Structure 1
Amino acid sequence: MKVLIVYASSEGQTRKIARKIMDRIADSGQAVELLPVSEAKGTDFSRFDRMIVAAPIHAGHYSRALSDFLSHEVENLSNVPMLFLSVSLAAAGHDAEDWRGLDQILDDFTAATGWQPSRVEQIAGAYKPSEYDVFRRYIMRRILAAKDPDADLDADKEYTDWAALEALVDEWLARAD
């Protein structure tokens, strides 16, 4: 099996997730390619048996680069079984309103791009104040303080459940579509 992973990343957590998945797939003896979304346009997707797209949500939206890529390539992607990993801090929590918001963001995104992945999974991201600009740090501190009052607002923290992510990818790759 040959798998393509396309990712968008702003602070690096989604890139880290994509690389971890790439290593997992390669270690299982399968062929895998990893491309940032900025380099994926025009790829011959028919060379791949499966595809994973990983992208973060920031300020209620996926990146413009991802939206442009998927809108442009939507017809070329229709024959490839696809797993979409939507990465956000909201996915780390259990608040029903946050999860409804994630569903709405996804619905708006797929309606705007015309893209319909075979499967979507919400993946918890990371809080990285060491990498935020002043404005983003202020906003993220407020969000995290409201969601996790015991959190150290000055420390980076990964919320990604690596074992669950690996199990998810293993299960998805083992399925016969």
Structure 2
Amino acid sequence: MKLFIGYASTEGQTQKIARHLMDRLVGQGHSVELSALSEAGPIDLSRFDAAVLGASVHVGHYQSVLSGFAEAQADKLTAMPSLLLSVSLAAAGHDAEDWRGLETILSDFAQATGWTPAEVVQVAGAYEPSKYDVFRRFVMRRIIAAKDPETDLDWDKEYTDWDALNAQIDAWVAKITT
């Protein structure tokens, strides 16, 4: 199977996740084209059997490059098996309000772009104060202090559950190849 994986990443965790996914799928014998959506240019999705798009949530939205790509490719994405990897720190927790917020973000995204992903995987991201500007570091420290009070706020911490992600991706691939 030939897959397109496109991603938008701000601090690099979504890129890391996309590369991990590419390595896993290639290791399973699939052909994969990986592209940062900011550098992708025009892509003919009809060359692929399925598409995976990944982006992180910041201030209640995905990166605009993902929205622009999804809007431009909505018809083709809808016509093929598709998966959205939604990366956020909210996905690391069990707070019902955070999860409702993620559903609202997805709904707004679908309405704005005209593309409703066939499947969505919520992936926990990372807290990376070493990569934040002063303002973002201040805001993120407050969020993490409230959500994960045991965390050392001066050090990066990855929340991505790689085993769970692998299982979800494997299940999706099995479903679309049968």
Alignment correspondent of 1:98: 98
Alignment correspondent of 2:134: 134
Size of the aligned set, in residue pairs, is 177
Amino acid in structure 2 at the alignment position of 1:49: D
CA shift, 1:73, in A, is: 1.6
5 Å-filtered alignment, 1:72-91, equals: 72-91=72-91
Q: C-alpha separation between the residues in 1 aligned to 2:80 and 2:39?
A: 18
Unaligned ranges ≥5, structure 1: none
- Aligned-pair Cα RMSD in Å: 1.1
Alignment correspondent of 2:60: 60
Q: Percent identity?
A: 60
CA shift, 1:58, in A, is: 0.5
CA shift, 1:41, in A, is: 4.2
5 Å-filtered alignment, 1:84-163, equals: 84-163=84-163
CA shift, 1:46, in A, is: 1.1
For 1:77-136, what per-residue CA distance to the aligned partner results, in whole angstroms no more than 9, with x for missing partners? 221100111000000000000000110111111111111111011110000000000000
Q: C-alpha separation between the residues in 2 aligned to 1:63 and 1:176?
A: 27
Alignment correspondent of 1:70: 70
Matched, 1:23 2:17: no
Distance 1:176 1:75, change over 3 A: closer
Alignment correspondent of 1:175: 175
5 Å-filtered alignment, 1:26-65, equals: 26-65=26-65
Q: State the TM-score, normalizing by the size of structure 1.
A: 0.97
Unaligned ranges ≥5, structure 2: none
Q: After the TM superposition, which of the residue ranges 70-79 and 48-57 deviates more from structure 2?
A: 70-79
Distance 1:156 1:170, change over 3 A: same
For 1:35-91, what per-residue CA distance to the aligned partner results, in whole angstroms no more than 9, with x for missing partners? 111233421111111111110000111111111111112123221100111000000
Q: C-alpha separation between the residues in 1 aligned to 2:123 and 2:100?
A: 15
Contact preservation (8 Å) 1:41, 1:73: no
Q: State the TM-score, normalizing by the size of structure 2.
A: 0.96
Q: C-alpha separation between the residues in 2 aligned to 1:81 and 1:176?
A: 7
